[in-house]
Amino acid sequence: MIVMLSARRLKPDAWEQFRRAWDPGDARPPGFQRAYHARNIRDEDEIISFGLFEMSDADYRRWREEADAQENRRVDNMSAFVQNEHVAGVYEVIEVVDD
């Protein structure tokens, strides 16, 4: 399983515009399971976004190579509403902890 994660500070009052720019529509990566956006309870402009994908590292690399131009455009569209990005990355799940 792959997790795509980012932590950003949005420009003031930019959540709705950011959310529209973030949405990939039907162009979601393969294996998409679910995505979350979470807001810092002390700072409404600080947002983390992460998605869970049932795919391997090789699947991710193959998809990214095929969708690179489209993903770069999507990121460029989002950046109009972002003040700064603290962290962004693609992570492989190494452990799941359940009840």
| Dist CA 39 CA 58 (whole Å) | 31
* Residues 47-64: tens digit of each pLDDT: 999 999 999 999 999 999
Domain that holds residue 23: 2-92
User: pLDDT at position 62, please?
Assistant: 95
CATH number for the domain harbouring residue 15? 3.30.70.100
Full-model pTM? 0.89
> Alpha helix locations (H) across the chain?
15-22, 57-79
Rounded average pLDDT over 10-20: 97
Decide if 97 is inside a domain. no
